[in-house]
């Protein structure tokens, strides 16, 4: 072991002698890991937002076959029939905890690019706040029913211009006043703007129709009772899902897509990084041929020469991986971004560099280091002893 550590130490200490090539290898590994971590951070953040958005004990009702809120239309009658369905929870005064909601797409200006992007304006009833986990007003107050007042999610404020508390904003042909800001702990609803249902119905000429109904269930299992009720009621043509299932179906695929883009792209870059590591390690062995031959002449084994080269390659790869993790963490972790969600509107989420992503990045970096060092390592182990006489 002493000889092994001595040779590894010599190899690692000699890295600055090949600074140019070593830096190129570190950089190429860093780029590869950075791309992977970037995509994974995006996917993790998006997934967290989606997963944090749905509850098992909230049922979402949409018109049968509509799949997304934006395609759905429900009549006032539907809401009345749902109110009496078994399994719907009630508040202290015996009223069902449910909210009929209208979902309208409006334009907002993104702070980062100054371009227009879709934003969901949701008309809600008073119980809406009780149907979102972790709902909290973070500034101002709730809108007054019957007025053109808005409360705005924190994600919207971060990503879009003109939604600060107290401002007035023109959405389409209507002018609104922002009277409050809210947070739902980073869920999809933080990317929404809320107003009174009746006002939205009037201003957007939707009559008494809504697009979705949300209702608190007495328990997660009660969803089956509600389904049975809806299927048995001829006047209803609705799809019933738990809110968690709804978000998983409508937007969860995007997180998977991000991961499926991130990995292949990183693997393509890994081929380049591998070639760089290989080249650097060949150069390392070539430049130290006489040193390696001298050590073996003294009595050091070929295995130590192999391991010295391999570990040097792994160290370079590890440095590249660590650099990427540091940069991605500092630049992206917790940063806000938005992407198109299931309802053709922007979902604001935060990049999240997780321990799992970091481990994936390091494993990829070390794999490149291992593959890049193994053949040069074998070459080092086979350096002819007669090279000891080289000048």
Q: Specify the residue, 102 or 295, whose C-beta has the smaller distance to other proteins.
A: 295
Nearest approach, Cβ of 321 to other proteins (angstroms)? 24
Nearest approach, Cβ of 14 to other proteins (angstroms)? 5
Nearest approach, Cβ of 353 to other proteins (angstroms)? 35
Q: Mask of contacts with other proteins, 15-44, x by CB under 8 A?
A: --x---------------------------
Contact 73, 63 (CB under 8 A): yes
Please enumerate, as own/partner, the contacts of 290-296 that have beta carbons within 8 Å and a separation of 24 or more.
290/387, 290/388, 290/390, 291/10, 292/380, 292/383, 292/387, 293/383, 293/384, 293/385, 293/386, 293/387, 293/388, 293/390, 294/388, 295/7, 296/383, 296/385
Nearest approach, Cβ of 369 to other proteins (angstroms)? 20
Q: Specify the residue, 366 or 388, whose C-beta has the smaller distance to other proteins.
A: 388
Nearest approach, Cβ of 17 to other proteins (angstroms)? 7
> Following DSSP, what letter does each residue of 73-107 receive, concatenated?
-B-HHHHHHHHTSTTB-B-TTS-B-EEEEEEEEEE
Q: Specify the residue, 140 or 302, whose C-beta has the smaller distance to other proteins.
A: 302
Nearest approach, Cβ of 5 to other proteins (angstroms)? 9
Site size toward other proteins, by CB under 8 A: 23
Among 165, 261, 378, 388, which residue sits at the site for other proteins (rule: CB under 8 A)?
388
Cα 170 to Cα 108, 175, 176: the distances in Å are 10, 4, 6
Q: Specify the residue, 295 or 325, whose C-beta has the smaller distance to other proteins.
A: 295
Q: Specify the residue, 202 or 301, whose C-beta has the smaller distance to other proteins.
A: 301
Report the 10 Å Cβ neighbour count for 177: 14
Site for other proteins in 335-374 (CB under 8 A): none
Site for other proteins in 253-312 (CB under 8 A): 290-291, 294-302
The rounded distance, in Å, linking the Cα atoms of 44 and 52 is 12
The rounded distance, in Å, linking the Cα atoms of 217 and 225 is 10
What does the binding site for other proteins look like in residue numbers (CB under 8 A)?
2-3, 6, 10, 13-14, 17, 290-291, 294-302, 385-386, 388-389, 391
């Amino acid at each position: 072991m002493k000889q092994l550590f001595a040779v590894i130490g010599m190899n690692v200490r000699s890295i600055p002698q090949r600074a140019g090539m070593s830096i190129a290898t570190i950089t190429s590994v860093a780029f590869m890991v950075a791309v992977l971590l970037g995509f994974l951070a995006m996917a993790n953040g998006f997934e967290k937002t989606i997963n944090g958005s749905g509850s098992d004990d909230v049922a979402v009702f949409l018109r049968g076959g509509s799949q997304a809120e934006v395609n759905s239309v429900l009549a006032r009658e539907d809401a009345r029939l749902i109110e009496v369905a078994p399994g719907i929870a009630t508040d202290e005064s015996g009223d069902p905890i449910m909210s009929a909601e209208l979902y309208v797409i409006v334009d907002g200006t993104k702070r980062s690019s100054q371009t227009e992007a879709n934003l969901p304006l949701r008309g809600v009833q008073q119980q809406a706040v009780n149907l979102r986990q972790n709902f909290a007003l973070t500034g101002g107050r709730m809108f007054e029913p019957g007025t053109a007042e808005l409360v705005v999610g924190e994600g919207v404020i971060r990503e879009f211009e003109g939604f600060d508390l107290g401002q007035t904003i023109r959405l389409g042909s209507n002018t609104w006043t922002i009277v409050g800001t809210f947070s739902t702990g980073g869920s999809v609803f933080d990317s929404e703007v809320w107003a009174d249902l009746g006002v939205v119905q009037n201003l957007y000429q939707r009559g008494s129709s809504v697009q979705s109904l949300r209702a608190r269930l007495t328990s997660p299992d009660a969803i089956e009772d509600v389904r049975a009720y809806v299927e048995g009621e001829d006047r209803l043509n609705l799809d019933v899902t738990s809110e968690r299932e709804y978000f998983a179906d409508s937007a969860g695929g995007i997180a998977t897509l991000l991961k499926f883009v991130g990995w292949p792209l990183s693997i393509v870059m890994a081929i380049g990084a591998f070639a760089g590591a290989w080249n650097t390690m060949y150069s390392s062995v070539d430049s130290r041929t006489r040193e390696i031959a001298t050590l073996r002449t003294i009595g050091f084994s070929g295995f130590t020469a192999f391991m010295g080269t391999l570990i040097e390659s792994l160290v370079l790869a590890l440095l590249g991986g660590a650099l990427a993790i540091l940069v991605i963490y500092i630049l992206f972790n917790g940063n806000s971004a938005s992407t198109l969600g299931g309802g053709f509107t922007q979902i604001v989420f935060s990049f999240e560099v997780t321990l799992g992503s970091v481990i994936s990045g390091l494993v990829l970096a070390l794999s490149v280091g291992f593959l890049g060092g193994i053949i040069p390592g074998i070459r080092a182990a086979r350096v002819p002893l007669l090279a000891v006489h080289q000048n």
